[in-house]
Structure 1
Amino acid sequence: MFSKTAFVSSVLAAVASGQQAGTLTTETHPSLPAQSCTAAGSCSTVATKVTMDANWRWLHTTSGYTNCYTGNEWNTTICPDGATCAANCALDGADYAATYGVTASGNALTLKFVTDGSYSKNIGSRMYLLASDTKYQMFKLVNQEFSFDVDVSKLPCGLNGALYLIEMDEDGGMAKYPTNKAGAKYGTGYCDTQCPHDIKFIDGEANVEGWAPSTNDANAGSGTYGSCCNEMDIWEANSISAAYTPHVCSVDGQTRCSGTDCGDGDERHDGICDKDGCDFNSYRMGDKTFYGPGGTVDTASKFTVVTQFIGSPLNEIKRFYVQGGKVIANSAVSITGVDAVNSITDKYCNQQKTAFGDTNSFEKLGGLAAMGASLSRGMVLALSVWDDHAVNMLWLDSSYPTDKDASTPGVARGTCATTSGVPSDIEASEGDSQVTYSNIKWGALNSTFAAS
């Protein structure tokens, strides 16, 4: 629901994204094999890897070690404008484990929340699945399903282990923007429906115009431009709450926005993307015991998440879980004014928006048909862990907005206190938090999971 980039930061000698490819640190992508399935029990291994998002990487001059971006400000001598900055600055390789707390073992990827390196302190991360060293794995999931295992037992209130699809360019934007020499290899080209302004390079140019350092994040800022695209949040969760949410835009693919099109502030519902989306959070939809420690889906141990994209054009997004050898259907709605369903359809979305008094930008911008069209064109898989410098993740796991009574329909989203999730608090007290994603599969409906 809120930006996964604007509120995730790293404290490094220099942390930014760039468009030239640096040579000071060799970029070696961790292996994360996945599986493509045609029928139950008939899956083949795909030799996929992962890469770190460009916003976390060291950005320095092409001819040396001078930082192009430090803390939350640009070096305006090296980067007086976007085009000059793109020519002057290089994006370098990543030391995944030591610097970023990212480790891969077999088919499992673990993302640590806080990593104290020899010279730096890193907060959160965002990774992408690669088909090769220079291209993202593209997912076209209409009338297909996607599944993965997840361990959220070490994700407390205020954190979000998010696995989601976004309509990025397969090559990270290299073909579209010749000034982008780094591409997917270095994690370039990010976009989502929040149209984030903290992306340091958009459309092959540095986002230096109008750059303003954040007032509550020493490592983040925002520029004039945002980077927008369709987004399918397959999984946003911690050990307390979980949601899956389609978000749609009126544009195809990664698109740079400015002004009203970005949907900022009071213009949230006037932009080209649906920032709210149509979410299914079991707690918010009336079942307060379905998900969590000791719940029907017990977050104290690992489980499988299955998401099915049914129909062409897309007309339903269905959720299952598998834990302890048992297939668990998603919880059913128990909210006045909404049918007792357990999946996302356009009817569900319309009823939910009415019941909660929310603006229905999802319908206005095309609903599930628009989401299906994006899935047909192809989307990139992001895997992340982050904290929220805007509203402390209360929209996921607490009561939000905080100026409404928790008994108001749609406000209560989880059991976390409204005082929880403050980044400065959890970065100090919950640094050992982590999420592990594993056993990624996709393919024909009912092909990726089984119960004993």
Structure 2
Amino acid sequence: MHRSIAIASGLLAVASGQLVGTQQTETHPSMTWQQCTAKGSCTTKNGKVVIDANWRWLHAKTGYTNCYTGNEWNSTLCKDNKSCASNCALDGADYKGTYGITASGNSLQLKFVTKGEFSTNIGSRTYMMKDDTTYEMYKLAPNLEFTFDVDLSNLPCGLNGALYFVSMDADGGLKKYSANKAGAKYGTGYCDAQCPRDLKFINGEGNVENWQASSNDANAGVGGHGSCCAEMDIWEANSVSTAYTPHSCSTVEQTRCDGDKCGGTYSADRYAGLCDPDGCDFNSYRMGDTSFYGKGKTVDTSKKFTVVTQFVGTGDSMEIKRFYVQGGKVIPNSESKIDGVPGNSLTTKFCDAQKKVFGDMYTFKDKGGMANMAKALTAGMVLVMSLWDDHYSNMLWLDSSYPTDKDASIPGIARGECDTGSGVPADVESASAGASVTYSNIKYGPLNTTFG
């Protein structure tokens, strides 16, 4: 599911542009990670973190006039997509003060609600950088693994601490799109398998034309274009439920789409686009083991733990395996307890069986399945670390029973123990403003080199 995130409002109204402003210097927080070649043999890499362009203050290229306020565009500065790009500039970020983002050593903490001097910010989406102008590109297949530690002990129902990979351009589209003057330095170029249409700028142009303000999110809307690419959800989770989910696309790289033909969360026909919006997921609770993940359970979410994801083999035969490490103990992923769907990892065979038993749409296979996912992983993908709440379905698809009009006893409907009335963004933002997630100790390398 896409991260539909409520964003800052007020004087620092959230928006994004492709020109660069000069009101705030852009200084990327530093964050280290490790590349391993053998068990116990890892080299520290000095990375940086950048916040997505969609969160940034967008204003007239001269002066302070907002190009976007609340969930509406300035009709003088942004008459159409091209004029908006030439009239508006996005500025640097105060990471801690405005967005609640703090990097220290090998860790990154994202706070949910941050009340700044001029704004209240909700959630964030950040990317790992190789240097100040380039995203780090992780090649994850074949036979490679990605490991990180996470503390989500104070992420309740309705929140999603998501760590995942998308097939963005390494420079944020700077070379490909001449109108894009900001590039990866300012967090441009986002895409995912929902072909998101809430992005303010796509391919260096505004997304103003046919913009419709959200009916339940004072800071967001949907434009006439979307931005599609392959997505590997390593980690979507709160303290109650977690899922890992590959999303294939018929084309791997970032591609702009038009209107409802985009498909995904934002379109009238969810399955109309280039990409698979549902994915093939492994959620332990949904697969019948309700005692595996959560506070006081086998993987105890009241404490920090390690998440290991392995990409074994390639092509349609690729297997995506999961391990956890906590208290010095390696914990294999839970086994499926659903009749007719055996296994504890994601394979083509598992996905075939799961989709059949659950009766779900199988667009994952239609869009190339594991073979196309392996292509994207082999080509290199950008690491995204985010925290969000859900204005479309209250995160019930992750941590409750969903769809809500179906009996929770039907296989595949129960995904977590949260109440079906939970997760309403206004409620979560009020009751859980102090929520946060911390990602740390990222490691990447050949199989069985990053943990033990």
What TM bracket, shorter-length normalisation?
over 0.9
* From 398, 404, 410, the counterpart of 2:406: 404
Aligned to 2:103: 104
Q: Does 1:222 align with 2:222?
A: yes
| Structure 1 position 305, deviation (Å) | 0.2
Shift of the 249–39 alpha-carbon distance from structure 1 to 2, 3 Å rule, reads: same
- How many positions carry a matched residue from both structures? 447
The amino acid across from 1:41 in the alignment is G
Question: CA–CA distance in 1 between the matches of 2:420 and 2:111?
Answer: 24
Aligned to 2:388: 386
Q: Does 1:248 align with 2:241?
A: no
CA contact (8 A) 2:248 2:368 kept: yes
Q: Secondary structure, in 3 states, of the residue corresponding to 2:261?
A: helix
In the TM superposition, 1:320-339 aligns within 5 A as 320-339=323-342
| Structure 1 position 207, deviation (Å) | 0.2
| Structure 1 position 377, deviation (Å) | 1.2
| Structure 1 position 76, deviation (Å) | 1.1
Question: CA–CA distance in 1 between the matches of 2:287 and 2:37?
Answer: 33
TM-score under structure 2 length normalisation: 0.98
Aligned to 1:177: 177
Q: Which whole-Å deviations, capped at 9, do the CAs of 1:74-98 have from their partners, x for residues lacking one?
A: 0010011111111111110000001
Q: Does 1:360 align with 2:393?
A: no
Question: CA–CA distance in 1 between the matches of 2:268 and 2:14?
Answer: 30
Aligned to 1:148: 148
Question: CA–CA distance in 2 between the matches of 1:96 and 1:271?
Answer: 34
| Structure 1 position 12, deviation (Å) | 3.6
Aligned to 2:51: 52
The amino acid across from 1:303 in the alignment is F
Aligned to 1:315: 318
The runs of at least 4 aligned residues of structure 1 exceeding 3 Å deviation read: none
Question: CA–CA distance in 2 between the matches of 1:282 and 1:145?
Answer: 20
Aligned to 1:11: 9
Q: Secondary structure, in 3 states, of the residue corresponding to 2:135?
A: coil
Q: Which whole-Å deviations, capped at 9, do the CAs of 1:285-333 have from their partners, x for residues lacking one?
A: 0100000001100000000000001103361000000000000000000
Q: Does 1:301 align with 2:300?
A: no
| Structure 1 position 8, deviation (Å) | 3.1
| Structure 1 position 252, deviation (Å) | 2.4
Q: Secondary structure, in 3 states, of the residue corresponding to 1:359?
A: coil
In the TM superposition, 1:200-239 aligns within 5 A as 200-239=200-239
The amino acid across from 1:386 in the alignment is W
The amino acid across from 1:270 in the alignment is A
CA contact (8 A) 2:309 2:321 kept: yes
Q: Secondary structure, in 3 states, of the residue corresponding to 1:308?
A: strand
CA contact (8 A) 2:191 2:229 kept: yes
Question: CA–CA distance in 2 between the matches of 1:110 and 1:7?
Answer: 17
TM-score under structure 1 length normalisation: 0.98
> Percent of aligned pairs with the same residue?
65
Q: Secondary structure, in 3 states, of the residue corresponding to 1:442?
A: strand
| Structure 1 position 10, deviation (Å) | 2.0
CA RMSD, Structure 1 to Structure 2 (Å): 0.9
CA contact (8 A) 1:239 1:299 kept: yes
The amino acid across from 1:208 in the alignment is V
Question: CA–CA distance in 1 between the matches of 2:253 and 2:271?
Answer: 20
Q: List gaps (5 residues or longer) in structure 2.
A: none
Aligned to 1:273: 275
| Structure 1 position 7, deviation (Å) | 3.5
Aligned to 1:128: 127
Q: Secondary structure, in 3 states, of the residue corresponding to 1:347?
A: helix
Q: Secondary structure, in 3 states, of the residue corresponding to 1:395?
A: helix
Aligned to 1:191: 191
In the TM superposition, 1:113-124 aligns within 5 A as 113-124=112-123
Q: Secondary structure, in 3 states, of the residue corresponding to 1:84?
A: helix
The amino acid across from 2:33 in the alignment is A
Question: CA–CA distance in 2 between the matches of 1:300 and 1:11?
Answer: 32
Q: Secondary structure, in 3 states, of the residue corresponding to 1:349?
A: helix
Q: Which whole-Å deviations, capped at 9, do the CAs of 1:124-157 have from their partners, x for residues lacking one?
A: 0000000000000001110100000000101000
| Structure 1 position 260, deviation (Å) | 4.8
Aligned to 2:430: 428
CA contact (8 A) 1:59 1:91 kept: yes
Question: CA–CA distance in 1 between the matches of 2:126 and 2:102?
Answer: 11
Q: Secondary structure, in 3 states, of the residue corresponding to 2:62?
A: coil
Question: CA–CA distance in 1 between the matches of 2:281 and 2:414?
Answer: 13
Question: CA–CA distance in 2 between the matches of 1:166 and 1:380?
Answer: 5
| Structure 1 position 365, deviation (Å) | 1.0
CA contact (8 A) 2:260 2:268 kept: no
